[in-house]
Structure formats: structure tokens, C-alpha cells
Structure 1
Amino acid sequence: MSGRVSARRVWRVVLLAATVAAVVVLSRRLEAADLGERLRSAHPGWVLAAAACSLLPLFGNVASMAALSPVHLPPVRTCVLWLATSFVNLVTPSSSGGVALTVRYLQRRGLPLAVAVTTIGIVQSTSLVVTGVLILAALLRAGRSAGSTVSVPWPLLGAGTAVLVVALLLARLHPRVRRWTAQRVVAPVRAEWPALRRVLTHPGRVAVALLGHLGVPLGFAATLWCAVRAVGGEAPLLLLVLVVVGSSAVTAAVPVPGGVGASEAALTAGLVACGVTAEAALSAALLHRTLTFWLRVPPAWVALVWLRGRHAV
């Protein structure tokens, strides 16, 4: 009993500290960005459209998780979970807190720790594959579009393919590289393969998972596209898919809680590269982050407290 009480006290202290940190970061960010002035000058119809599109990634994550999970996940409670991760990710770098919270949620649903971690690994692995195919399709389509300023970087793609082939040869021939590959790549894949094979025997679940994975980058891209239109700019939707995926990669690589600053900078740079003016790009990036992250923080805190009160995490 004392151990349980002490664990609850530790959790309350952590939650209190996270809340204070979130409030301070959020207030400073909103003050520095002067979002009120920017939103007042934006087109209200496009802002509402961006707000609606910003919900698509949430539903996409829930759909893919529910489809690939070996146990039944209540849709409403799982939506609340993904909302709660927005608060946890604000105070942890590289979304590590959100992953830990999701693993805890799966454990509460009856999965052992190893199976819960494997499930997360399957979801992330399949998401990576789907995102990679989407990026390639966007590059090819953008390069063939009439009037497009984007050309497919065939030399760069060829060099990347050559590097991949050399890496595979090293992994095959060099003993030390072969051992590292067996431990870090082959072993995790073998551990996840039985569960993944069981999922692949249900075409309906696979289709739902694929649609969910596609909904995440396409939802973020649609939100950014509407945000650009709201501030008077224009950019092709296909290019914005590349912008949001690149921004996510930059945010994950920078060890800053919530990707504060890094995500906004990456989105702005990507929009400028797509031909949007610097001022409009910054406004669109801030509006995008406001709808997809900052405005979710207060309800995400409520969602986290709600889940804790029902012992769901």
C-alpha cells in the first residue's frame, strides 16, 4: 500500500511540474508569436477549414493503432489517449513521453510490456513504410506536374541507392557490422514478425491501418495548405506533404521538448522553398502549429488527468 501511495505522490509531483512547465512555455510562445494579430488578419473560412483538417491526424493515429493492436481498443478512450500525448510531448523530447504513455495505455488494456512495445514497434514500422511510399509518390508527381518548379533529384536518389547497396554489402560481409545488424535490425524484426503476420491475415485491418497511416501526413499537409491559403499564400498540396514530413524529421532529430522552435523554423523554411513569401510562410507555420499542437495543450492536460483518474494509463 505504501509503495502504491508513494507512486501516486511521485506522479502528482511530476504532473504538477509538467503543468507549470507547459504553462510557462505556452504563454511565452504565444506572447512571442503575437498570434492574436496574425489570426485576426487571416481568412476565417480557411482557418476553420485548417482546424477541421487538423483533426485528421488524430483520427488516423487512432485508426492505425486500433487496427494493429492485438486487443480491442475503445475508440473514444484511444482518441483521448492520443490527445493526452500532446501534453506529454510538450515536456519530453522527441515524443518519447507520448510513446511511453501509449505503452502504459496498452499495458492497462491487458497487454504484457513486451507485447505492448512490440505493438508500438509494428505501428511505427508500418507508418514509416507508408510515409516513405507517400514521399516517393509526391516527389514523382510533383516533378511531372506542369509548371512545377520541383524536379526529381535523380542523382541524389541514385547516390542514396548506391549507399544503401554498399551498406547491405558491408552488413553481409563484415563480421562486426553483421553482428550489429543481427542485434539491432534482424532481431527486432524477428520479434515483431509473428504479431505482424497475424495482423496481415486480416485484410480489413490492414486497409484500416494503411488509411490511418496515410491520414496522418495528409492531414498535416491539408492543415498547412489551408493555413497558407488563410494568410493569402499559395502552395501545391503535394509539396506540402514533403514539407510536413521533413518538419517532423527535423523535430524528431532536435532534442527539444515538443519541438518548440525547431518545428516552426522547419515549416517556415519549407514553405519559403515552395515559393511562399517569408512573412506568409511564418504566419502559416505559426497557425499550423497553433492548431495541431498549442491549442491542444489545455484539453490534452484535461485528457491526461481524466485517463489517470480512470486508471487507463
Structure 2
Amino acid sequence: MSQLLETPPAPLPAACPAGPPRRSPAAARFARPALALLPLLLIGGWALTDRRAAAEGVARLASADPRWLFAAFLCTCLTWVAAACVRQGALPERLPPGPLVASQCAAGAANQVLPAGIGAHAVTLRFLQRQGVPLPRATASLALYALVRPVAKMLVLLAFLVAFPQVLRLGALLPGHRALLTAAGVAAVVFVAAVVTLVTVTALRRPVLGFLRTALTDARALHRRPSRVLALWGGAAAAPLLQGSAVAAVGFSLGLPLSWAQVVLALLVAGAAAGAVPAPGGIGPVDAALVVTMAAFGAPVGTATATVIGYRVLTVWLPMLPGALVLSALLHRRLL
């Protein structure tokens, strides 16, 4: 009896460690619908800031030939297919074709809100992760996509210069020696700064080298598969041709006195001249450069301006609402 009285009491069980805070069912129920409505709110806010240009473009399109406008809209839809081909060509894994094209439609809407392609890359990265693609491989595919697109566009530009040496007059559009030296100097400075940063900052060295290793390995493996090469480079080459065809179709509906080849080359030159400016979807700098380029080819400034405004309305404003709806649907179905 004395031993029982002298036995110390058993220690109380330790408290269970507190886990991560659980989200309330009500918050989880309303979070995804709110996230799905966010693209529509962003599109609406952006539309209010530039409603004058949209109204002017719609007024000009009201008097245009509807058959050419339908052809321009069809070319715009085909650019989503071309972008989906490039995305598929940049990955070894096979992606579902329907959701992939839908993601590029949604990425086009997001790309008009954020500059320098950030919106499109963010949507695509989220889609690839939802498809089970590892993050290093997904980011490597985005880098390959961003590299192949300008290279293919430059190859298409050179092909046009070789195929149409007499029809296209580029003397007034070619940059001078000073501009070329300045661009080369800026590129050299950026390259040296990147190398110095990579060498001096040890925290960045390992992830950057790992990313480069993954990107080079995937690029080498992809270029051994003819189907991926065709999708990657064929889609990248078709994209500027489809965009130029959309501009040409809008111009033809308004009586633009230029040929298809001149309009496509004008877009290629304008994109090369103003593509470095990080504007949302290229709106602004590319538009101004496109008007100047078409005017240099002999088009009236008023008709060239109307063509660019109509092109932007038809290929940016009209697809914005369907693109935002597709983006919301992908979010609702947990594909993003």
C-alpha cells in the first residue's frame, strides 16, 4: 500500500503538434469560383481603360467586307493551334490535344493583360503541371518555346527576303550601322552581366545549371523525334504566317493596296523592330511600327492605321471574352 502511494503519477501525454491550419469548408467552396471569375474581372477592367480604341475599331470594321473579316478571325483561331503544336513539340510527354488547344486560347487572353508573354507562360506552366509534367521539364519547355519562336520568325523573314527581292522595298526600313552597333553592345553587356552573376552568386549556380542541363537534354531528345521537330518548328513558322494573313485579310476588307507578301513582311519587320518593348500582347509599339512599315510599302497612312485598329479589335478584343471564359472553365475543371 505504501509502494502504491509512493509511486509518482504517470506523466500526461504530450500535446499533439498543431498541424497546418485547415481551410474552412465555406472558404474552399467559394475560393475556386472566385478564382474562376478573376480573369473576367481583369478583362473587364482592362477593357474600360482602352474603350475609345475599341469603339473606333468596331466602327471601322462595320463597313468592311465580312468575308475577309471571317477569314481573318479563322486565321486568329488557327494561331492557337499553331501555338499548341509548338508547346507539344517542346515536350517529350504527349499532351491531350483538346485541353492543350483550349489552354492556348486561355493563354492568349492572359497574354493581353500581362506584358512580355508572362500571362501565356504562366497559364501554360500551370497546365503542364496539372498534366503531371515535372516543374524542371515544364520550365525547360517554356524556355525552348521562347527560343524557337523568334528563331523561326527570323527564318521566315529571311525566306521572304529571298523569295521576294524585287517586290518588297526595305531600304527605308533597314537600321543604320549605329543602331546595329548599339543593339550588339546592349546584347553583349546583358550576356556578360548574366555570366558574371552566375559565377559570383553561388546560390543561383546550382538551380541555373540544373535547368540548363535539363533543357539541353530534352532539346537533344526532342530533335531526334521527327514528329516533335515538325510540331516544334512547323508550328513556330506557321504562327507569324497566320498572324500576317489575319492582318492582310483585315486590310483587304478595308481596301488596303498591298499584297499578301508585303503585309506579312511588314508584320515581321514591325515585330523585329518593336518586339523588345515589353507591352501587353505587343500592343502599342508593334502597332506603331506596323503602320510605319505598311506606309513605307506604299499604303495610305489612314488605311494602314484602320487596318491595324481593325486587326487588334478582331484578333484581341473579340477573342478576349471567349478566351476568358475558357480560362475560367479550365480553372473550374481543375485543369489549371
Alignment TM class, shorter chain as reference: 0.7 to 0.9
The secondary structure found in structure 2 opposite 1:52 is helix
Give the match for residue 141 of structure 2: 119
Once the 2 structures are TM-superposed, how far is the Cα of residue 305 of structure 1 from its aligned partner?
A: 1.1
Hey, what's the Cα distance between the residues in 1 that align with 2:244 and 2:314? 13
Give the match for residue 38 of structure 1: 60
Residues 49-128 of structure 1 aligned to structure 2 (within 5 Å): 49-128=71-150
User: 2:255 is matched by which residue type in structure 1?
Assistant: G
Hey, what's the Cα distance between the residues in 2 that align with 1:88 and 1:101? 8
Give the match for residue 204 of structure 1: 227
Shift of the 132–6 alpha-carbon distance from structure 1 to 2, 3 Å rule, reads farther
Hey, what's the Cα distance between the residues in 2 that align with 1:87 and 1:80? 11
Hey, what's the Cα distance between the residues in 1 that align with 2:231 and 2:302? 39
Hey, what's the Cα distance between the residues in 1 that align with 2:169 and 2:30? 57
Hey, what's the Cα distance between the residues in 2 that align with 1:57 and 1:99? 16
Hey, what's the Cα distance between the residues in 1 that align with 2:127 and 2:107? 11
Once the 2 structures are TM-superposed, how far is the Cα of residue 244 of structure 1 from its aligned partner?
A: 2.5
Give the match for residue 282 of structure 1: 305
Matched, 1:150 2:170: yes
Hey, what's the Cα distance between the residues in 2 that align with 1:177 and 1:107? 28
Matched, 1:19 2:19: no
Give the match for residue 19 of structure 2: none
Measured against aligned partners, the alpha-carbon deviations of 1:158-215 in whole angstroms (never above 9, x if no partner) come to 966x958x959x98xx8x786458789x956544111011111111221222211111
Once the 2 structures are TM-superposed, how far is the Cα of residue 116 of structure 1 from its aligned partner?
A: 0.6
Matched, 1:237 2:260: yes
Hey, what's the Cα distance between the residues in 2 that align with 1:4 and 1:191? 40
Tell me the percent identity: 25
The secondary structure found in structure 2 opposite 1:34 is helix
Once the 2 structures are TM-superposed, how far is the Cα of residue 281 of structure 1 from its aligned partner?
A: 0.7
Hey, what's the Cα distance between the residues in 2 that align with 1:267 and 1:202? 37
TM-score (norm 1): 0.82
User: 1:126 is matched by which residue type in structure 2?
Assistant: V
Is residue 76–residue 246 contact of structure 2 (8 Å, CA) maintained in 1?
yes
Hey, what's the Cα distance between the residues in 2 that align with 1:195 and 1:157? 39
Hey, what's the Cα distance between the residues in 1 that align with 2:294 and 2:83? 25
Hey, what's the Cα distance between the residues in 1 that align with 2:219 and 2:144? 7
Hey, what's the Cα distance between the residues in 2 that align with 1:181 and 1:280? 49
Is residue 135–residue 241 contact of structure 1 (8 Å, CA) maintained in 2?
no
The secondary structure found in structure 2 opposite 1:293 is helix
What is the RMSD of the two structures over their aligned residues, measured on CA atoms? 3.5
Hey, what's the Cα distance between the residues in 1 that align with 2:45 and 2:272? 26
Once the 2 structures are TM-superposed, how far is the Cα of residue 61 of structure 1 from its aligned partner?
A: 0.6
Hey, what's the Cα distance between the residues in 1 that align with 2:176 and 2:114? 38
Aligned residues: 305
Once the 2 structures are TM-superposed, how far is the Cα of residue 109 of structure 1 from its aligned partner?
A: 0.6
Once the 2 structures are TM-superposed, how far is the Cα of residue 115 of structure 1 from its aligned partner?
A: 1.1
Shift of the 30–159 alpha-carbon distance from structure 1 to 2, 3 Å rule, reads closer
Is residue 68–residue 205 contact of structure 1 (8 Å, CA) maintained in 2?
yes
TM-score (norm 2): 0.77
| Bigger shift: residues 98-107 or 243-252 | 243-252
Q: Which has the larger helix fraction?
A: 1
Shift of the 91–11 alpha-carbon distance from structure 1 to 2, 3 Å rule, reads farther
Shift of the 8–288 alpha-carbon distance from structure 1 to 2, 3 Å rule, reads farther
The secondary structure found in structure 1 opposite 2:159 is helix
Shift of the 87–8 alpha-carbon distance from structure 1 to 2, 3 Å rule, reads farther
Hey, what's the Cα distance between the residues in 1 that align with 2:271 and 2:33? 31
Matched, 1:137 2:188: no
Structure 1, unpaired ranges of 5+: none
Is residue 246–residue 311 contact of structure 2 (8 Å, CA) maintained in 1?
yes
Hey, what's the Cα distance between the residues in 2 that align with 1:48 and 1:135? 26
